[in-house]
Structure 1
Amino acid sequence: MLLDLNEDETLLKNGLEQFTEGALRPRIKPFADKHEFPTDLVKEFLALGFMGTAYDPDFGGGGLGTRGAAIVAETLARAEPGFAAIYLCNSAPMTVIARYGSDDIKRKWLEPLCRGDFIASFGVTEPSGGSDVASIKMRAVEDGDSFVLSGSKVFSTNAGTALHGVSTFVAVTDPELGAKGLSTFVVPVGTPGFTVGKAGRKIGWRIADSVELFLDNCRVPKANMVGNRGEGLKQILTTLSIGRILVGATGLGLSRKAIDLAKIYGASRKVGGIPIFQNQGLTFPLADTLTNIHAAELMIRNAACLADAERPFRLETSMAKLFATEMASEAADIALQVHGGYGAFEEFEVSGLIGEARVLRILEGTSEIQRLIIGRELSA
Structure 2
Amino acid sequence: MDFLSFRADLDAAVTRFARDRLAPGIGVHIEDHSFPTRLVAEFGDLGLFGTAYDPAFGGAGLGVRGAALVTEALARVEPSFAAIYICHSAPASLLDRYASAELKEEWLRPANEGRFIGSFGVTEPHGGSDIANIRTRAIEDGDDFVLTGAKVFSTNAGTPPHRFTTVVAVTDPDKGGKGLSTFVVPVGTAGFSFGRRKSKIGWRVADSVELFLDEVRVPKANLIGRRGDGLKQVLTVLSVGRILVAAIGLGLARKALDLARDHGRERKLFGASILEHQGLAFPLADIATEIHAVELMIANAARLADDGIPFRTESSMTKLFASQLALKAATQSIQVHGGYGVFDEHAVAGLLGEAKVLEIVEGTSEMQRMVIARELLR
TM-score by length of 1: 0.98
Give 1:123's aligned residue: 121
Structure 1 residue 87 displacement after superposition: 0.1
Q: Aligned match of 1:364 in 348, 362, 365?
A: 362
How far apart are the structure 2 equivalents of 1:230 and 1:155? 24
Structure 1 residue 7 displacement after superposition: 3.0
Give 1:6's aligned residue: 4
SS of the equivalent of 2:210 reads strand
Give 1:303's aligned residue: 301
Give 2:163's aligned residue: 165
Structure 1 residue 272 displacement after superposition: 2.4
Q: Deviations over 1:323-361 (max 9, x none)?
A: 011110000001111100000000000000000000000
SS of the equivalent of 2:305 reads helix
Give 1:342's aligned residue: 340
Q: Aligned match of 2:209 in 211, 225, 230?
A: 211
Structure 1 residue 6 displacement after superposition: 2.3
How far apart are the structure 2 equivalents of 1:10 and 1:320? 24
How far apart are the structure 1 equivalents of 2:324 and 2:8? 28
Number of residue-to-residue matches in the alignment: 376
How far apart are the structure 2 equivalents of 1:365 and 1:9? 29
How far apart are the structure 2 equivalents of 1:378 and 1:79? 37
Structure 1 residue 378 displacement after superposition: 2.4
Give 2:329's aligned residue: 331
- Listed as ranges, the gaps of 5+ residues in structure 2 are none
Give every structure 1 segment of 4 or more consecutive aligned residues whose post-TM-superposition deviation is greater than 4 Å. Answer: none
Give 2:245's aligned residue: 247
Structure 1 residue 271 displacement after superposition: 1.5
- Listed as ranges, the gaps of 5+ residues in structure 1 are none
How far apart are the structure 1 equivalents of 2:136 and 2:338? 48
Aligned letter for 1:352?
G
Give 2:229's aligned residue: 231
SS of the equivalent of 1:6 reads helix
Moved more, 151-160 or 270-279: 270-279
Give 1:63's aligned residue: 61
Structure 1 residue 131 displacement after superposition: 0.6
Q: Over the residues paired in the alignment, what is the CA RMSD in angstroms?
A: 0.7
Q: Aligned match of 2:19 in 13, 18, 21?
A: 21
How far apart are the structure 1 equivalents of 2:5 and 2:256? 28
SS of the equivalent of 1:142 reads strand
Structure 1 residue 274 displacement after superposition: 1.7
Aligned letter for 2:200?
K
Moved more, 271-280 or 5-14: 5-14
Structure 1 residue 260 displacement after superposition: 1.1
Give 1:293's aligned residue: 291
Structure 1 residue 377 displacement after superposition: 2.2
TM-score by length of 2: 0.99
How far apart are the structure 2 equivalents of 1:179 and 1:314? 18
Structure 1 residue 30 displacement after superposition: 1.2
SS of the equivalent of 1:141 reads strand
How far apart are the structure 2 equivalents of 1:320 and 1:86? 20
Q: Deviations over 1:5-41 (max 9, x none)?
A: 8230111011001000000001111111111101101
Structure 1 residue 183 displacement after superposition: 0.3
Q: Deviations over 1:291-316 (max 9, x none)?
A: 00000000000000000000010111
Q: Does 1:319 align with 2:314?
A: no
Q: Deviations over 1:148-186 (max 9, x none)?
A: 001000000000101110000000001011111100000
> Once the two structures are aligned, what percentage of the paired residues are identical?
61
Q: Aligned match of 2:377 in 357, 374, 379?
A: 379
